[in-house]
Each structure stands twice: as C-alpha cells, then as structure tokens.
C-alpha cells in the first residue's frame, strides 16, 4: 500500500504536493479532534478515567497500523522491520511526544492508573530487552516464534485485566470526583464508537498520505535522503500518537495523552513485536547495533518517564518534558552520526 501511494504521488507537480500536504494536515487535525472528543465522551459514558481509555481503546487504534505493517513485513520476508519499528516507536512516543505535550500544556498523571499500567509499561520494555539478549536465544540475538506467541498471550491478559480494572471502586470514585458521570453528555454508544473509529481512520489515512508527500517534496528541494530517513520516516510511524497527544493536551485532556503513550508502549512490545514474531518461523533477528543504542535508549527513557510519572506533583512538568525531549534529540543525533560512519 505504501509503495502504491508513493507511486501515485511521485509523478505529481510540486505545487500539487504542497496542496496535498496542506489538505492532509487539515484532515489530520480534524481526525484528531474527533478521536479525542469521542474518547473523552466514552470516558464519561462508561465512568472510566480518561487515562484508561487512552491506554486501551485509543492506543489500540493508533498502534494498529504499526502492527499491520510489521506482520505483513514479517510474512513477506522482512521481519527485522518489526523490532526496529517497535523500539523506535517506544523511544519516539515516550521522548518526543510526551516531551512536546508537556511543553505545550498540562500533563496530569492519575496515580491509581500509573501504578498499574505504568508498571506493565516498564516491565514490557525490560522483557523485550531481556529476550533480545543472545544468551536467551542460543548465542545470537533472536526473538523466537514461540516467544512471539507468549507476547500475544500476555497482550490478551493485559487487555482482560485492563477491562476488569475499570470496574474497581477506586477508579469509579476517581471519575466521580472529577465529575465524570454527566448524564447530559451521553449519546448512543454505537454512535460514539463509530465516530471514534472514524477519527482513528482519518488520522491514520491522512498520516499515510502526508509522510510520503513530504518526503517526495523534501527530495525535490534538495534535502539529503539520510536526513529524511532519520526524521520523516521515524516520525511517520508515531504521527498518529503525536497528533492525538497534542490535540488532547490542547483540549485540556492531558490524562488521555499520557494514557495513550503508556498503552502504545505496551502494545509496541506485546502487539507489534509479538504478532510479527509469532508469524515468523525463524523469529525476529536482533541487529548487533541495537545493543549499542536502541535498546539502552529505550530502557533509559522508560525508567526516566517512570520516575517522572511517580513524582509528588502528579504531573509531567515542563522541565521533565524538556528532559525527555532532549534524550530523544540526542538519540536521533547519535543514530544519524552512526548512520554516516
């Protein structure tokens, strides 16, 4: 699908590409508006904290394209893409997106939720790092097919317990304290779900068109391919989460943004890596370079985010957001430097 879109866009005049960029940015913002509004509406109707909705329903929607691409790549004989996609997305989600969102607006953290989903988030990251160690895969870095099946099983368990946790008294009390049950805001559930998935579709579809359009335009104006690979391509996989988080913060729903990123990090391990490894007989090979930069950066940024989210002020502050953003910038700089050597 990506190659088809690229082929259709490549022959268009530059002025037309610029019009498409503007149009896709407009669609992207409108899709994010719909997605955030309906996620908040579901939180109200179900009596579930916005951070839980972000960590489950919203993150499943925004992570689905990455899982689909990774599984198809594995089936077509390119399984290495899945691991790089997952680890790169975790770093971008936690560093770039949380960092920018914290600088733009308020990012409150629900301590009841972060004690549960937050523990799973960091545990999933360390689990991925451990199974990548060569000593656990017969002397060479490899995530085996059966381990992929274990990840998928853990995903099912995670979703099951996430649903169960929404019914516990402490979560319902948290929503009541925040005025979450507003009968006047309720609308038919099917309509809310249709709008929610419609917003997800608009965000994903516009992202799929926007990134190759910008890439082609950048090449035509003389930006090197190496820089494009290290920026636009990496950003493209996390663009739905980025736009959703920024929109949520601007609308005053920072908890939804935090929940979306926490859930996306968990799903990148259990859903993206798990499903890709499960359909690959030889498993997912771990490049040697990942032990030098990608895996250490992933663990560092997850640990730092965990420390920030457990702070006494119960929010991700602007200095903390700047710290996460700087880690991401350093990671990109090192990736680009090593790419050239």
Q: Which domains does the chain have, with CATH numbers?
A: 49-178+224-340 (1.20.1420.30)
Question: What is the Cα–Cα distance from 222 to 238, expressed in whole angstroms?
Answer: 25
Instruction: Return the half-sphere exposure (C-beta side, CA atoms, 13 A cut-off) of residue 125.
Output: 29
- Going by pLDDT thresholds of 50, 70 and 90, the confidence category of residue 294 is confident
pLDDT of residue 222: 74
The tens digit of pLDDT for each residue in 52-93 reads: 677 766 777 777 766 766 776 677 676 666 787 788 889 988
Question: What is the Cα–Cα distance from 239 to 245, expressed in whole angstroms?
Answer: 10
**Per-residue pLDDT at 182 exceeds 70:** no
Residue with the bigger pLDDT between 99 and 240: it is 99
Residue with the bigger pLDDT between 155 and 110: it is 155
> Per the structure block, which two tokens stand in for 62?
């925004």
**Per-residue pLDDT at 212 exceeds 70:** yes
Nearest to 65 by CA among 244, 204, 203, 197: 204
In 154-256, the DSSP E strands lie at none
Task: Return the percentage of the chain with pLDDT > 90, whole number.
Answer: 16
Query: What DSSP designation does 133 have?
Result: S
Residue with the bigger pLDDT between 182 and 328: it is 328
Residue with the bigger pLDDT between 151 and 141: it is 151
pLDDT of residue 319: 93
pLDDT of residue 44: 64
Question: What is the Cα–Cα distance from 35 to 58, expressed in whole angstroms?
Answer: 8
Highest mean pLDDT among 45-54, 148-157, 171-180, 247-256: 148-157
Question: What is the Cα–Cα distance from 77 to 85, expressed in whole angstroms?
Answer: 15
**Per-residue pLDDT at 226 exceeds 50:** no
């Amino acid at each position: 699908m990506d190659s088809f879109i690229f082929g259709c866009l490549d022959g268009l005049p530059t002025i037309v590409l610029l019009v498409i960029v503007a149009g896709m940015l407009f669609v992207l913002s409108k899709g994010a508006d719909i997605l955030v509004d309906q996620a908040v509406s579901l939180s109200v109707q179900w009596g579930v904290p916005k951070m839980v909705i972000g960590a489950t329903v919203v993150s499943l929607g925004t992570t689905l394209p990455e899982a689909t691409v990774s599984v198809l790549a594995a089936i077509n004989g390119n399984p290495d893409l899945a691991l790089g996609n997952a680890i790169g997305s975790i770093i971008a989600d936690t560093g770039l997106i949380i960092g920018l969102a914290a600088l733009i607006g308020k990012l409150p953290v629900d301590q009841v939720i972060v004690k549960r989903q937050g523990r799973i988030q960091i545990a999933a990251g360390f689990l991925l790092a451990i199974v990548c160690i060569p000593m656990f895969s017969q002397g060479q870095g490899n995530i085996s097919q059966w381990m992929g099946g274990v990840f998928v099983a853990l995903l099912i368990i995670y979703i099951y317990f996430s649903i169960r946790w929404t019914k516990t008294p402490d979560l319902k009390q948290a929503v009541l304290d925040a005025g979450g049950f507003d009968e006047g805001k309720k609308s038919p559930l099917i309509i809310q779900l249709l709008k929610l998935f419609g917003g997800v579709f608009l965000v994903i579809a516009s992202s799929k068109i926007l990134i190759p359009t910008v890439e082609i335009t950048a090449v035509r104006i003389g930006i090197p391919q190496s820089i494009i690979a290290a920026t636009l391509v990496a950003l493209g996989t996390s663009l739905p989460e980025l736009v959703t988080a920024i929109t949520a913060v601007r609308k005053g729903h920072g908890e939804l943004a935090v929940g979306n990123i926490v859930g996306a990090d968990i799903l990148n391990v259990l859903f993206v890596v798990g499903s890709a490894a499960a359909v690959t007989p030889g498993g997912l090979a771990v490049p040697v370079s990942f032990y030098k930069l990608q895996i250490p950066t992933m663990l560092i940024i997850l640990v730092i985010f965990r420390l920030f989210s457990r702070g006494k002020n119960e929010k991700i502050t602007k200095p903390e957001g700047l710290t996460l953003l700087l880690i991401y910038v350093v990671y990109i700089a090192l990736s680009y430097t090593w790419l050239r050597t």
